[in-house]
Amino acid sequence: MKNYTISKQLIKNTKNFLDIKYYSIIDRLLGKSGVFYGWGRKKSGIKAIELSKKDNSSFLLLEDGFIRSMGLGVDKSPTFSIVEDDIGIYYDATTSSKLENILNNYDFKSDENLISEAKKAIALIKTHHISKYNNAIDIKEDYFDDENEKRVLIIAQTAGDSSLKYGMLDDFTTEDMIKDALLENIDSGIYLKVHPDVLSGKKSSDIDIKSLDKRVKVITENLNPISLLKKFDKVYTKTSGMGMEALIVGCKCVCYGMPYYAGWGITIDKSKCKRGKRVLSVEEVFAGAYILYTKYYNPYKNRVSDIFDTINEILLQKKKTIDSKNNILVIGDSHVAPFKSKIFKYILKYNFIINYVPGATARGIGNNNSLTRSHKIFQESLDKYNYDKIIISLGEVDTAYSIWKIHETKNTDIEVILEQSIKKYIDYLHYLTSYAQVIVLSAPYATVKDNTKCDDTISGIRASVNASQKQRIEIGIKFNQKIKEFCNKQKDIKFVDFNNIVLDKNSMLKDIFLKKYNPCDHHYCKVKYSLLILYIFIKKKIL
Do the beta carbons of residue 353 and residue 367 sit within 8 Å?
no
Of 107-116, 160-169, 186-195, 505-514, highest mean pLDDT:
107-116
Segment 263-302, tens digit of pLDDT: 999 999 999 888 888 999 999 999 999 999 999 999 988 8
Give the rounded percent of residues in the chain with a pLDDT score beyond 90.
Answer: 69
Is 89 or 142 the better-scoring residue by pLDDT? 89
Q: What's the whole-number mean pLDDT along residues 187-193?
A: 93
Whole-number pLDDT of residue 539: 93
Q: Out of 158-162, 414-418, 486-490, 515-519, which region has the weakest mean confidence (pLDDT)?
A: 158-162
Do the beta carbons of residue 336 and residue 443 sit within 8 Å?
no
Q: What's the whole-number mean pLDDT along residues 433-454?
A: 88
- Quote the CA–CA distance of 148 and 163 in Å, as a whole number: 34
Whole-number pLDDT of residue 55: 87
pLDDT higher than threshold 90 for residue 316: no
- Quote the CA–CA distance of 443 and 415 in Å, as a whole number: 17
Other Cβ atoms within 10 Å of 337 Cβ, number:
17
Largest interatomic CA distance in the chain:
94
Q: What's the whole-number mean pLDDT along residues 298-326?
A: 82
Q: Out of 89-93, 142-146, 195-199, 434-438, which region has the weakest mean confidence (pLDDT)?
A: 195-199
Q: Confidence class of residue 319 from pLDDT cuts 50, 70 and 90?
A: confident
Whole-number pLDDT of residue 364: 93
Whole-number pLDDT of residue 448: 85
- Quote the CA–CA distance of 415 and 413 in Å, as a whole number: 6
Q: Out of 137-151, 196-210, 343-357, which region has the weakest mean confidence (pLDDT)?
A: 196-210
Is 464 or 375 the better-scoring residue by pLDDT? 375
- Quote the CA–CA distance of 58 and 49 in Å, as a whole number: 8
Do the beta carbons of residue 495 and residue 484 sit within 8 Å?
yes
Q: What's the whole-number mean pLDDT along residues 517-530?
A: 87
pLDDT higher than threshold 60 for residue 186: yes
Segment 62-72, tens digit of pLDDT: 999 999 999 88
Whole-number pLDDT of residue 422: 97
Q: What's the whole-number mean pLDDT along residues 450-458?
A: 68
Mean pLDDT in the chain? 90
Please choose, from the candidates 296, 314, 433, 310, the residue with its C-alpha nearest in 3D space to the C-alpha of residue 14. 296
Other Cβ atoms within 10 Å of 137 Cβ, number:
11
Please choose, from the candidates 56, 54, 18, the residue with its C-alpha nearest in 3D space to the C-alpha of residue 38. 18
Other Cβ atoms within 10 Å of 173 Cβ, number:
11
Whole-number pLDDT of residue 520: 80
Whole-number pLDDT of residue 157: 80
Whole-number pLDDT of residue 321: 54
- The residue type of 207 is I
Segment 199-252, tens digit of pLDDT: 555 556 667 777 788 899 988 888 999 999 999 999 999 999 999 999 999 999
Segment 5-47, tens digit of pLDDT: 999 999 999 999 999 999 998 988 888 889 999 999 999 999 9
- Quote the CA–CA distance of 405 and 412 in Å, as a whole number: 10
Alpha-carbon separation of residue 339 from 280, 291, 524 (angstroms): 59, 45, 13
Q: Is 429 helix (H, G, I), strand (E, B) or coil?
A: helix
- φ/ψ of residue 98, rounded to 5: -60, -40
Do the beta carbons of residue 367 and residue 374 sit within 8 Å?
no
pLDDT higher than threshold 60 for residue 181: yes
Please choose, from the candidates 457, 502, 460, the residue with its C-alpha nearest in 3D space to the C-alpha of residue 477. 502
Whole-number pLDDT of residue 273: 86
Segment 92-134, tens digit of pLDDT: 999 999 999 999 999 999 999 999 999 999 999 999 999 999 9
Do the beta carbons of residue 294 and residue 66 sit within 8 Å?
yes
Segment 421-437, tens digit of pLDDT: 999 999 999 889 878 89
The 3-class SS string of 258-293 reads CCCCCCCCCCEECCCCCCCCCCCCHHHHHHHHHHHC
Whole-number pLDDT of residue 202: 56
- The residue type of 166 is Y
Whole-number pLDDT of residue 33: 87
Q: Is 508 helix (H, G, I), strand (E, B) or coil?
A: coil
